[in-house]
């Protein structure tokens, strides 16, 4: 178990794909943001604005990054980077807990 | 939209009912705790330790409190209190976002 301290959290959830993906926004003292989110099994494509680092806290999914035709299996404890202004697709096989950092 | 500031948040989600209910724990400077949670449609019975105040941020459910045989319809913007060391049942009809405060 780990914690973020001295942060601001937005109370209301961010809801995507009819609740298949739900996250909460955390704002750090330096103004940077992360979301803590949870995914039900399903297939989800997200568009990015800023570059993102997705850290999978627990769960299992297959990932297709922009420009790739290959699917990579990602599990708990693994991370992946997503470029700015792109799209990535996840096929979520098990309940998946994640932390997404918005960078740059 | 509203925020909690100067708080600690536990990164890992609390997962109940196979992901039907998922929450994150928020710890305040005075040591008190709340959870920000999200419920998929379904029926869920929870046991309480400390007394709880459940604030429904959005969504719709029917609630049966301990000692009652009646179901009350609860919607976004409504709250209800649950006594310590008891159990309450929710029939969640729509995706429901909530904030649970542990008191006393």
pLDDT at A1: 76
In chain B, % of residues over pLDDT 90: 96
Q: What is the mean pLDDT of residues A78-89?
A: 96
pLDDT at B1: 76
A51, A82, A90, A104, B20 from A67: Cα distances, Å: 15, 11, 14, 21, 34
Cβ distance B8 to A5 less than 8 Å, yes or no, reads yes
A4, A6, A82, A94, B5 from A29: Cα distances, Å: 11, 7, 24, 33, 10
Residue A15 in contact with partner chain B when CB distance is under 8 A: yes
A6, A12, A36: residue with CB nearest B11: A36
A3, A58, A97: residue with CB nearest B9: A3
pLDDT at A104: 72
- Please check whether residue A91 is in contact with residue A61, taking contact to mean a CB–CB distance below 8 angstroms: yes
E-strand ranges in B11-86 read 14-16, 21-27, 33-39, 42-47, 52-64, 72-75, 79-82
How confident is the model over B17-63, as pLDDT tens digits?
999 999 999 999 999 999 999 999 999 999 999 999 999 999 999 99
Map out the domains of chain A with their CATH numbers: 8-102 (2.60.120.10)
How confident is the model over A5-40, as pLDDT tens digits?
999 999 999 999 999 999 999 999 999 999 999 999
């Amino acid at each position: 178990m780990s914690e973020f301290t001295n942060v601001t959290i937005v109370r209301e959830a961010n809801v995507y794909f009819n609740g298949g993906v739900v996250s909460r926004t955390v704002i750090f003292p330096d103004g940077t943001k992360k979301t803590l989110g949870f995914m039900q099994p399903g297939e989800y494509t997200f568009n990015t604005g800023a570059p993102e680092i997705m850290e999978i806290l627990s769960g299992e999914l297959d990932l297709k990054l922009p420009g790739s035709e290959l699917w990579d299996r990602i599990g708990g404890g693994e991370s992946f980077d997503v470029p700015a202004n792109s799209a990535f697709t996840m096929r979520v096989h098990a309940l998946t807990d994640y932390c997404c950092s918005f960078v740059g």
